[in-house]
Each structure stands twice: as C-alpha cells, then as structure tokens.
Amino acid sequence: MTDPSRRSFMRSLGVLAGSAAVLSTAPWLASCSADKQAAVTGERARIALIGTGSRGQYHLHNLKLIPHSEVVALCDIHQPHLDEASQLFPEAKTYTDYHALLDDPDIDGVIIATPLGTHARITLDALDAGKHVFCEKAMALTLDECKEVYERYKQCDNVLYYCMQRMYDEKYIRGVQMINDGLIGDVVGMRCHWFRNADWRRDCPDPSLERLINWRLYRETSGGLMTELASHQLEVCSWVTGKMPSKIMGMGDIIHWKHDAREVYDTVNVVYKYSDGRTISYESLISNKYNGMEDQILGSRGTMNLATGLYYLEEDNSRSGIKQLLSSVRESVFSAIPAAGPSWRPETADAYIPHSILDGVTHVNNGQSTIGADHDGSEDILASFCQACITGERAVNVVEEAYSATALCLLGNKAIEEGTTIDFPDEYKIPYMKF
C-alpha cells in the first residue's frame, strides 16, 4: 500500500462523494466520503470469501489493495480452487462447508462468488447468521428468490451489496450526471450490446464436475447472457431514466455453440418498453466480437456511450477549421449527386466528434474478459463494502438497483421462452420502482 497509485480508486470515491451534484446522481456514494474513509483508518473488516474460483480470486487480489480489510476465511467445495486461494492468503482459515464458515464469530462480512443458482440461499443464510454480505450479480436465479432476499434485507440491519460495479465507475457516474444536466437533451432511447467470441466453456478434467465447473451453461445454475452480462447494462438504463420498463419482448437461441449440450442461449435480442414509449434495445451473442461492448444513451441533442467514456453531439460547434473546410468540400461534392441528397451528413457516423466524459486517462473495459477488468468500479464497490462492514452503514439504493436489474434480466429470459410480450408482474414490483 505504499504506492499511491494503487490506492487512487479509494481516494477517488471520497472526492466524488464530496460533490452534492454527484450525490444527486449516485446517492450510494454518500457512505464513501473522505471523512468517512478517514474514520476507519487503522481498522480492518474481517472478510470471508465463499467461492474461490476465478471471480473470487479476482476479488482476493483487489482485497490486497484495501487497507481496511483482512481476509480471514476461504470456502469452496472444489479443493483445487480453495488451494489456489490459500496461496494468496495462507493465514486464512479454510472451509468446504459455508455453514461452518458462517458459524465463525470472528467474521464480519462475507463475499459470495459462487454460481448464480446458489446466490439467494447463501445470502439468506449469511444475513440470518448476522453477517454483512457482498454478493456477485445477479441477485438470484428466480423472481421469487429475488423477492425473498429483498424482504429479508428490509427486515434486518445487515449491510448487503451486489457487485453492480458500473454504479461505482467514475466515467459512468460523471456521464449520468451530464445526462441529468441536459447535455444530450431528452433521453429518447437506449441501445446496449455485449459481443464476445468464445464458447464460455472451461476445461473440466473430471466429467463428474461438468456442471460445477461449467455452471454458466446450464439453466439450473445460470440465466445465461441475460444474468451474466445484461444485468450490468440494464441497471445503467434504469439508473439513467429513474424508471422501469413496463413491457418486455425478446428472442434468443443457440445458433453457433450447438454441440456441447449447453442449455442457455448463445444469442439474445430483447426490447424493453417504457410506459412513455421509450425503449431499451439489448443484444448479446458470444460467436462474434466485432462490436464489443457499448452502453449507449440516446438523446435529442447527442449520444452518451458510457462504456467507452465518450459522448457525441448532434450539433457540434467544436470542429477545427480544417475539419469544417473538408466538410464543406464534401458537402459541395455530394450536393451535385441527386441520389445522395442534402441529408447525407447527419446520417454518416464519421460526422460525429467524440468528446471524453473524463479529463485525463479513461479506463475502458472492452468486455472480452470473463473474469473482470481493472478500474471498472469493482475495486471501489468492494472497498465501500469493507468500510461498511466496520461502520454498519448501508449504501443507499444498491440493493434496490440490483433487484431491479435482476428482475429485468429474468423477465427478458421469460419473454424469450414464451415468445410473447409480457407485462412487468405486479407481484414483483417494489416501492423503489417507478413505471
């Protein structure tokens, strides 16, 4: 921790939380102010990790950078993963039964990085054991489980976080603030996509471990592309609009990875419609990576691409003199061609000039890693959780945003499976939601 650059993500939280304008955009940062960070100096949250696979070990590496955390316990039913994690924290106790871990009074908070199908049960057990909880997305595999976890959280005093890291990513926070300030005009729609080219399969030396190692491929443990990828992007859309879509329609299929007995779709297209007519267009597939990952917020005066940290204006007066000259030449040439007409410029993508949301270096995640990316907000939300394990202060709206995003993902899968347009069910609405 002697290298200041390795702690910059924690300091940045305090800077952001010091701005009233930022807090109106991201109220969950209120617990991360510089004063509150300073108040836990010298203290350590005793943290246990349940699920020591690739994502769990990603969190362990980040915990090494957080001075107010101490990893005291590790748990996994797969011994090779547990052994790898123990090499990172050799002093930590090891468990193969998470119930025994939860009985340990020397643990303040637990991180759950297990397959999605186990999230709800372990979260409920941890809350019942009096532990603070940080769980990977999505919240649960079913809407009933989501509601049960949400109700239990409302009834207890424990801290509960979900790793919706975009909520703690500075380019997203600043970008949403700019949107709220009217930079891109009225938000008229949203387009999000996430493309990869990989089979999502992991090596499995023992066939008996297939469903444990490759849990993402099976419906009893995974919601596929919707819960694993779309959960992040749909949360951003509800964050920007402050509303929830009322209707969902979609299509999905296994079109390329057909020969490995997977059960979840390798391509999905889902449209979410708001009561005011706006839509979210969501698309994901894992057999072509050309388009990468983008979270586009479309406004009447411009477009904000939060994933890339850039925005574009419809009427941009920032062109250099040479660009304006070249544009005039091109317009003169094309104006002589009737087929092109006078409208070619606004329909041409290269007419838009990119502007950076942040000054200085912007860290961009290309979406290709299946484990995690540096500087994507994961470090920050984990640091905030460790601080909350010491103070007991809940982060405003984190659970509600995770619930909303998970519900949209699960309803997207339901719309695909039923092949119909479905309404958001009343029984799964919570007071936080506005339609």
- Identify the pLDDT of residue 310: 97
Domains 4-167+373-402 and 180-371+411-428 share a fold: no
Strand pairing of 293-299 and 187-195? Answer: antiparallel
The pLDDT of 133-139, averaged and rounded, is 98
CB 398, CB 404: distance < 8 Å: no
Q: What is the pLDDT of residues 77-129, one digit of tens each?
A: 999 999 999 999 999 999 999 999 999 999 999 999 999 999 999 999 999 99
Domain locations along the chain: 4-167+373-402, 180-371+411-428
Q: What is the pLDDT of residues 59-77, one digit of tens each?
A: 999 999 999 999 999 999 9
For the entire predicted model, the pTM comes to 0.91
Hey, what CATH topology would domain 4-167+373-402 get? Rossmann fold (3.40.50)
- Identify the pLDDT of residue 8: 61
- Widest pairwise Cα distance in the chain: 80
Give ∠ CA 371-203-262 in degrees, rounded to 5: 85
The CATH code that applies to domain 180-371+411-428 is: 3.30.360.10
- Identify the pLDDT of residue 12: 77
Dihedral, 387, 390, 396, 397 alpha carbons, nearest 10: 80
Higher per-residue pLDDT: 351 or 176: 176
